[in-house]
Amino acid sequence: MEIFENIIVATIYASTPLLLAALGEVVSQRAGVINIGIEGMMLFGALFGLLGSYYTSGIPFLAPWIGILIAGFSGFITAAIFSYFAIKLRGDQIVIGTAITLLALGLTEVLYDRLLGGIGSQTGVHDFENIKIPVLENIPLIGGMLFSHNIIVYIAFLLVPCVYFFLYHTHYGLKVRACGEHPKAISTVGSNVLLIRTTCLLFAGTMAGIGGGYLSLADVPYFLPGMTSGRGFVALAIVIFGKWHPVKACGAALLFGLGYAMDALLQAFGLGIQYQWFKMLPFILCLTVLAGFVGRADAPLALGRPYDPSE
């Protein structure tokens, strides 16, 4: 029973950054923009979030919140750069996103050496502590597993119904989905397709930044170069597997989170197998899912296609 509880708790923790990034990407892709730079945005969020908490360590209660806000803002700024080249200048979204990820991989390593002295763990970093929800955490069997997490976990899963309601039960959400399906049609009724796409991309970048900040402020209180370890690309797979639907993406995030959780738990058992084999589990799952389901998923019709208002 204890092993089962550990797996559930580890799955929830591992799925949280994936879910945050995937929810933002669902909105972005619903608007017709593929944010391949999500890995880089998460990496920026992880570094700048940690730095934000470290440099405000004099106010312990606010330090992690300041860190997570800075993490989200770093993703916002990166997404703004992405939107300028991909939406305003109508560049290739895949190429631009790849360039942003490569930039993040190099720049965060340089900043890591310069600002942290090559030591990712800092004693001055204040991270998020677990919060037990009164009454709910006393529910037999599931209380301790579901209601004893840090605040970012709760926020991530509460965002699922919020994003669902926004996309499918608001007028602006209808416009977002129309931008990803028939942007010319929505523009003829007075909607600004470029503005809607930019707004959705900025939201996606902010969510990716917060997802990265979660890794260094709620998961483990340190930063290492490349610590996102492909989670941004896994988030892209989650969006496809979840068929661009926030609720289904949540289920997919939990499935991939289970892969990360099993990686950590199997290593802890000391089975005498090289740890690199366990590290492969989430990506084997990713390839299996994409190979089996990508052909059945119907992407938004205008996904990845630049929109020219003059046409």
Return the number of other C-beta atoms located less than 10 Å from residue 150's C-beta: 19
Does residue 212 lie within any of the structural domains? yes
Does residue 302 lie within any of the structural domains? no
Does residue 138 lie within any of the structural domains? no
- Under 8 Å between Cβ of 12 and 148: no
Give the residues across from 150 on adjacent strands: 130
- Under 8 Å between Cβ of 209 and 72: yes
Euclidean distance between CA atoms 123 and 120, whole angstroms? 10
Model pLDDT, residue 119:
61
Euclidean distance between CA atoms 297 and 311, whole angstroms? 29
Residue 204 has pLDDT above 80, yes or no: yes
Q: Which helix (H) or strand (E) holds 148?
A: strand 148-150
Question: Alpha helices, DSSP H only, in the chain?
Answer: 2-30, 38-55, 63-83, 93-116, 143-146, 151-169, 171-181, 183-187, 193-214, 231-241, 246-268, 275-279, 281-293
Does residue 63 lie within any of the structural domains? yes
Model pLDDT, residue 290:
67
Q: Which of 48-52, 56-60, 286-290 has the lowest mean pLDDT?
A: 286-290
Q: What is the pLDDT of residues 153-180, one digit of tens each?
A: 999 999 999 999 999 999 999 999 999 9
Model pLDDT, residue 238:
92
**Average pLDDT of span 2-29:** 90
Q: Which domain holds residue 90?
A: 2-122+157-296
Higher-pLDDT residue of 20 and 272 is 20
| Residue 22, C-beta contacts closer than 8 angstroms, at least 6 positions apart | 235, 238, 239, 242, 249, 252, 253
128: which DSSP letter? P
Residue 294 has pLDDT above 60, yes or no: no
Percent over 70 (pLDDT), the chain: 88
- Under 8 Å between Cβ of 215 and 18: no
Model pLDDT, residue 207:
97
Residue 52: HSE in the Cβ half-sphere, 13 Å Cα cutoff: 27
Model pLDDT, residue 201:
97
Does residue 150 lie within any of the structural domains? no
Query: What are the angstrom distances between the C-alpha of 198 and each of 34, 179, 201, 215?
Result: 12, 11, 5, 26
Please tell me the total count of domains within the chain. Answer: 1
Nearest to residue 6, comparing CAs of 283, 310, 264? 264
Return the number of other C-beta atoms located less than 10 Å from residue 78's C-beta: 28
Does residue 90 lie within any of the structural domains? yes
The CATH number linked to 177 is 1.10.3470
- Under 8 Å between Cβ of 208 and 20: yes
Does residue 236 lie within any of the structural domains? yes
Q: What is the pLDDT of residues 70-117, one digit of tens each?
A: 999 999 999 999 999 999 999 999 999 999 999 999 999 999 888 877
272: which DSSP letter? S
Does residue 288 lie within any of the structural domains? yes
Q: What is the DSSP string of 97-127?
A: HHHHHHHHHHHHHHHHHHHHTT--B-TT---
Model pLDDT, residue 58:
79
